Amino acid sequence: MSSTTRRDLESGGANKNYNNISYSAAPTSYVYDPEVHWTSWLVPLFVAVNVVVFVVAMYLNDCPRKNLGFEGECVASLTKMGALRWDDVVNHHQAWRLVTCIWLHAGVVHLAANMLSLVFIGIRLEQQFGFVRIGIIYLLSGFGGSVLSSLFIRNNISVGASGALFGLLGAMLSELITNWSIYTNKAAALFTLLFIIVINLAIGMLPHVDNFAHIGGFLTGFLLGFILLLRPQFGWLEQRRPPAGVRLKSKYKAYQYVLWIVSAILLIVGLSIALVMLFRGENGYDHCHWCHYLTCVPTSKWKCNDN
């Protein structure tokens, strides 16, 4: 398949447009056009799948009134449909739960909050970078969140797309960092994004919220952003066919290559170590005694359950 065909498929048929770069008639002439976007269809599809799965869960539960909040009571049905549970993953070799759990939700509020966040975050990212890269980040971040969650939470089930959503937030942060030189008002954008991330992670410290899935998804997406969301530097985009003997500028800056390599190594090594620890039955708290504060901070208003 030619490179042009691949671009057309990923952009949903947008002819000769690739990641906000408009190709002119000359094959070596590039003009940066921030108004060109991919067609977003994968994120709406993800939303539709989540809603359909939730409707099926409601039907199987036959108890819609029990699914109106974060604490859905039909645990048996969620477990049967693929909720994340340490015993099933490790002792019953059901590793597929690390992926299926991100399509399940505990209630209407849980579903609505996650899907609204996915629409606001995911559609913009897919328009800018295409469905392939955003789909990879979403799915791998959800997987990474499930792995970290399983390392620490053994006695409860876990469901929800929050890990994947935090992965998109992490990718937004790393994308801003790795493409720092091409942005304006970048300090304000960085502060705003960090504020949103910190607030959401802080909410994860409330009871009954799986913040380990959030953290695992965020870290996975953060590293993937350095790998998948690079933008070419302006010097490369603006260059025309150079005279003989004139050296072309590099497509990416040196620090972008460094971040790409370091992130790829950290991602592969980190996921490999986490998976080995998980399937060996190791408990994350044995290696991090204070980590329980990352998912729940006890106060006079509530107590934290033993995970």
Residues annotated as catalytic (active site), given as ranges: 162, 214
* Residue 222: closest CA among 145, 293, 150: 145
What is the phi/psi pair of residue 272, to 5°?
-65, -45
Alpha carbon distance 49, 43 (integer Å): 10
CA distances, 127 to each of 17, 38, 134, 280 (Å)? 12, 4, 9, 41
Give 302-307's long-range contacts (Cβ < 8 A, gap of 24+): 302/206, 302/207, 303/207, 304/207, 305/155, 305/156, 305/207, 305/208, 306/155, 307/152, 307/153, 307/154, 307/155, 307/156
